[in-house]
Amino acid sequence: MSERGERTPPEVVRLSSRDDDAEGGQPEAIPEVVHPSALDTDATGGQVGEAPRALRDLLKRHAVDTRPLAIPAYKRLLIGQGTSFVGSMLTQVAVPVQVYALTGSSLYVGLVGLAGLVPIVVFGLYGGAIADAVDRRTLYFFSSLGTWAITLALLFQTLFSVGNVWLILVLVGVQSAAFAIASSARGAIIPRLVPPDLVAAANTLNFTVGNVGQVIGPLLAGFLVTLPRGFDYAYGLDALLFTTALYSVLKLPSVRPDGAGQKLGLRSVADGLAFIATRPVLMMSFAVDIAAMVLAMPRALFPAVADTRFHGNVGPLYAAIAIGSVLAGLSSGWIGRVRRQGRALVFAIITWGAAVALSGLAHQLWLVVALLALAGGADLISAVYRQTILQTYAPDEMRGRMQGVFIAVVAGGPRLGDLRAGGTAAATSPTFSWVGGGLACMLVVAVVGGLVRPFWRYDAREAHPERIVGG
């Protein structure tokens, strides 16, 4: 249904064949999705009127592209990811708030990010190499089981009132390792489930659904942690929701990589890093993201700022960035039509830094939330372009390792940003750390993004020999 209540034409799904099995065998029938705009006649075979066609074209240009949902395997993966994101955000809010409650220190909250940084980098890189050698569905399932087990351990430590910050940090580190492996496998699965022209749309849906979870999760966690035994409820609900995600993984088809015969080892990881190092477009897509997250991520400052400015009301701060990402995702139909994706990525990250800096100066909760939401919209746009460039630029036998580096950067970067923000706040003030980080991000990305010409001139429609192999 459209906003005015008219029924929009359903999407048409045709079946086509694609051989996704690296070892041969029968080709798997996958849906070929045709957007309603491709249909120019009405039910009687006549031409569609100009007014309905104009409305349809408007929706096509600006509404989120849902065509990947016609592919059952992708739809199951999306449902599982969305469910798990709600629960994971409960834990991601509960852990720093619990650490701050135990210590009263933003520096210790920053250490939560550091505890997860090294495992994410190490196991993201090696987990990506594993994803290029084994069935990615199997790897995704068992690494997700490990993540779930640590969530149960976090629940037990608060049920029994252990109150040990260092135990919490250890559990965060182990969970980060399992998360990195699972994410490497999941990211390498997506371009094997959808046609190449729908990868950007699939990534937009992934990030949008994930950000819906990041809106619901922090708001719910912000309420739960204020209750007596609130940390018990947060960790327990995360564990419960994650069981549905595990079930959805089991329903995925087998996804064997094209390079299933390769040997595991550090050489495999080194090959992946060398692949990135020799391609400026890939290298810069990682570099600008590191600058954005390390310099401008204000997450570690939320507990302290909420305590001093907003009477401890921390939930809206954690949810604000995700709210903006959801709104951007729902109006993202234009994203896939942008050709100069490197240039668009630079502009999106500069917008992110500017919005973060301005939000650090605001003392009204609604204004901080609004500006962080603007930053979240810019972050969604940059995330879609980063992931799409990566998934369409690399051959299938390299995608696991590419996703491993991606996870190390996008998950490790914010954790390093937590450490930077917490340490700077401890040495100066939360406001200086917050605002200064946003300004530094703008300056660094504007300079570096314009200097690397292949990245600045990158055209998504140009043919690349690395784009799709056997997928």
User: Does the residue 40 lie in any domain?
Assistant: no
User: Does the residue 61 lie in any domain?
Assistant: no
> Taking the C-alpha atoms of 439, 445, 450 and 455 in order, what is their torsion angle to the nearest 10 degrees?
-160
From residue 7, give the alpha-carbon distance in Å to each of 1, 2, 4, 156.
5, 6, 9, 50
| More reliable by pLDDT, 47 or 277 | 277
pLDDT band at 262 (very low <50, low <70, confident <90, very high): low
Q: Say yes or no to pLDDT of 105 above 70.
A: yes
Q: pLDDT tens for residues 382-411?
A: 888 887 777 777 777 777 777 778 777 777
User: Does the residue 290 lie in any domain?
Assistant: yes
User: Does the residue 51 lie in any domain?
Assistant: no
Q: Say yes or no to pLDDT of 26 above 50.
A: no
| pLDDT the model gives residue 308 | 86
pLDDT band at 7 (very low <50, low <70, confident <90, very high): very low
User: Does the residue 4 lie in any domain?
Assistant: no
Measured distance CA(109)–CA(116) in Å, rounded? 12
Closest CA to 415 of 65, 157, 107, 111: 111
| Structural tokens at position 336 | 């896939």
Q: What average pLDDT does this structure show over 423-428?
A: 88
3-state secondary structure of 24: coil
Domain count, the chain: 1
| pLDDT the model gives residue 23 | 40
Q: What is the CATH number of the domain that holds 343?
A: 1.20.1250.20
Residue 312 Ramachandran class (φ > 0 left, ψ -120 to 50 alpha, else beta)? left
Q: Give 86's Cβ-side CA count (13 Å radius).
A: 17
3-state secondary structure of 26: coil
pLDDT band at 203 (very low <50, low <70, confident <90, very high): confident
Q: Say yes or no to pLDDT of 464 above 60.
A: no
Among 121-135, 152-166, 375-389, 431-445, the minimum mean pLDDT is found in 121-135
Q: Which helix (H) or strand (E) holds 432?
A: helix 430-451
Q: Say yes or no to pLDDT of 171 above 90.
A: yes
Q: What average pLDDT does this structure show over 446-453?
A: 81
End-to-end CA distance of the chain: 34
Q: Give 283's Cβ-side CA count (13 Å radius).
A: 12
Q: Say yes or no to pLDDT of 42 above 60.
A: no
The percentage of the chain sitting over the pLDDT mark of 70, rounded to a whole number, equals 80
Average pLDDT, the chain: 78
| More reliable by pLDDT, 294 or 184 | 294
Helices (H) and strands (E) in the chain, counts: 16, 2
User: Does the residue 3 lie in any domain?
Assistant: no
User: Does the residue 470 lie in any domain?
Assistant: no
**Residues 71 and 30: beta-carbon distance below 8 Å:** yes
Using DSSP bridges, classify how beta strands 28-34 and 12-18 pair: parallel, antiparallel or unpaired: antiparallel
pLDDT band at 170 (very low <50, low <70, confident <90, very high): very high
Look up tokens 């048409």; give the residue.
Answer: 12
| pLDDT the model gives residue 223 | 87
| Structural tokens at position 173 | 């580190």
3-state secondary structure of 34: strand
Q: pLDDT tens for residues 286-324?
A: 888 888 989 999 988 888 888 888 888 887 888 788 788
Q: Say yes or no to pLDDT of 284 above 80.
A: yes
List the beta bridge partners of residue 32: 14
Measured distance CA(206)–CA(194) in Å, rounded? 13
Among 21-25, 34-38, 235-239, 452-456, the minimum mean pLDDT is found in 21-25
Measured distance CA(290)–CA(411) in Å, rounded? 10
| pLDDT the model gives residue 265 | 64
- The model scores a pTM over 0.75: no
Domain residues for the domain of 273 are: 67-456
User: Does the residue 141 lie in any domain?
Assistant: yes
| pLDDT the model gives residue 462 | 63
Q: Say yes or no to pLDDT of 130 above 70.
A: yes
The one-letter amino acid code at 238 reads: D
